[in-house]
C-alpha cells in the first residue's frame, strides 16, 4: 500500500536521538538536552497554498532530507512491524539538514 501526502504535507519516518525505555518513557538523563524532533522525508505532497490561496512554488524539503519539526505537531501513524511515521504540515518544519554545512 502506498500513501501519498496531501498538498502541503510531508510523510516522515521518525528518528530520535534521546534514550527511550522499552515502555516508551524518555529517560531522565536525556531530558535536559532533548533535541527537536526529527525524521527523514519519505514522501512529499504537492506544494501547499498560502493564506491568499495561491499555490506555493515548491515544498520545503525533498525525499531523503532530514527534517526538524516542532514537538507535539503532526499526526503519528503506526503500522506494526514498521518504523514509526508521521504526517506533518509544511508550516511545522523548523529546519532541513544540509549536508554541505557544518
CA nearest neighbour of 15 among 69, 54, 55, 52: 69
The pLDDT assigned to 50 comes to 75
Domains of the chain: 9-96 (2.30.33.40)
With H, G, I as helix, E, B as strand and everything else as coil, classify residue 28.
helix
Average pLDDT of the residues in 36-61: 82
Distance CA 57, CA 66 (A): 21
Is pLDDT above 80 for 29? no
Q: Which of 46-50, 63-67, 80-84 has the lowest mean pLDDT?
A: 46-50
Q: Determine the straight-line distance between the first and last CA of the chain, rounded to whole angstroms.
A: 38
Residue 87 has pLDDT above 90, yes or no: yes
**The pLDDT value given to residue 26:** 56
> pLDDT tier at 20 (50, 70, 90 boundaries)?
low
Query: What is the residue whose three cell numbers read 509544511?
Result: 90
pLDDT category of residue 66 using cuts at 50, 70 and 90: very high
pLDDT of 65 reads 92
Q: Edge to edge, what strands does the sheet with 85-89 contain?
A: 75-77, 85-89, 9-15, 37-44, 66-69, 93-96
pTM of the model: 0.70
Amino acid at each position: 500500500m502506498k500513501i501519498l501526502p496531501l498538498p502541503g504535507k510531508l510523510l516522515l519516518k521518525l528518528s530520535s536521538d534521546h534514550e527511550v525505555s522499552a515502555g516508551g518513557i524518555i529517560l531522565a538523563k536525556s531530558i535536559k538536552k532533548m533535541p527537536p524532533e526529527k525524521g527523514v522525508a519519505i514522501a512529499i505532497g504537492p506544494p501547499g497554498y498560502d493564506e491568499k490561496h495561491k499555490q506555493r512554488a515548491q515544498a520545503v524539503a525533498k525525499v531523503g532530507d532530514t527534517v526538524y519539526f516542532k514537538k507535539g505537531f503532526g499526526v503519528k501513524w503506526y503500522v506494526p512491524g514498521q518504523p514509526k511515521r508521521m504526517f506533518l504540515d509544511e508550516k511545522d518544519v523548523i529546519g532541513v539538514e544540509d549536508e554541505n554545512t557544518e
